[in-house]
Amino acid sequence: MPTVLITGASRGLGLEYARQYADDGWRVIATCRDPDNATELASLEGEVETHALDIGDHGQILSLANSLHKEAIDLLLNNAAIFGPRPSKLGEIEYSTWEDVMRINVMSPLMMCESFSDHIAASNLKKIAIMSSKMGSVDDNSSGGSYIYRSTKAALNAVMKSLSVDLGPRGISVVILHPGWVRTDMGGPNGLIDASESVNGLRRVIEGLNLENSGRFYNYDGSEIPW
């Protein structure tokens, strides 16, 4: 039975990932800030265990990694993120909060990967999947604005590209993912697809991940996104 560790699993895409992997017979280690109030997560069927984790607290990341030190984790799925202040347009940028968004969207995913690299290397599949956004693509940016969110996702992409190079010798592959415009709390009610369709596609991309295509940036439909 393969094992997946999912951050931000109490709602949205994280919850849908947990549901689908559990339904397919995976062991799911689901993390969120407040498991006691994660009622939908608690109601999932299958082998699902929950752990409290605020990924903005790097001490909690290290503590969780230590508590799971005997576990082999086939897939680390870094899903938790925040958008930050909206609309973050020129003249209205909240500089004081930019660092907080960078910490959660960039530094924390890398720390998760560092802290759990031994767990992943000990598994059969040895995969890391990172939820990014097409808004982090410099090539795709034709509308401007969203300075804080765009910059954190662009930085995340760069960090994970480097990680794919550094972890390659250990047999660990890394993929950077865009979920599409999804109807979630972050995506809003006008999204073009629902969480189920997005995660179905993303899982197909993850399934096809190997060392040859490690470090690339993919849309949920399997198409590659330019940097």
CATH of the domain at 178: 3.40.50.720
Tell me the angle at which helices 12-23 and 195-207 cross, rounded to the nearest 10 degrees: 60
Q: Does some domain include residue 153?
A: yes
Task: Note down pLDDT in tens along the chain; length 227 residues.
Answer: 999 999 999 999 999 999 999 999 999 999 999 999 999 999 999 999 999 999 999 999 999 999 999 999 999 999 999 999 988 889 999 999 999 999 999 999 999 999 999 999 999 999 999 999 999 999 999 999 999 999 999 999 999 999 999 999 999 999 999 999 887 766 667 667 899 999 999 999 999 999 999 999 999 999 999 99
Pair type for strands 75-78 and 216-219: unpaired
Preceding omega of 109 cis (within 30 degrees of 0):
no
C-alpha 109/C-alpha 124 separation (Å) is 22
Residue 93 lies in a domain: yes
Number of domains in the chain: 1
Q: Which domain holds residue 85?
A: 3-219
**Do the domain assignments include residue 181?**
yes
Alpha carbon of 161 to those of 55, 171, 176: distances in Å? 21, 15, 8
In a domain, 226, yes or no: no
CA–CA distance, 154 with 138 (Å, rounded to integer) = 7
Through-space distance between the first and last CA atoms of the chain, rounded to whole angstroms: 35
Residue 209 lies in a domain: yes
In a domain, 7, yes or no: yes
Per-residue pLDDT tens for 56-114? Answer: 999 999 999 999 999 999 999 999 999 999 888 899 999 999 999 999 999 999 999 99
C-alpha span between 117 and 109 (Å, rounded): 12
C-alpha distance from residue 4 to each of 98, 120, 130, 169, 219 (Å)? 30, 10, 13, 21, 21
Q: Is position 128 within any domain?
A: yes
Residue 225 lies in a domain: no
pTM attached to this predicted model:
0.95
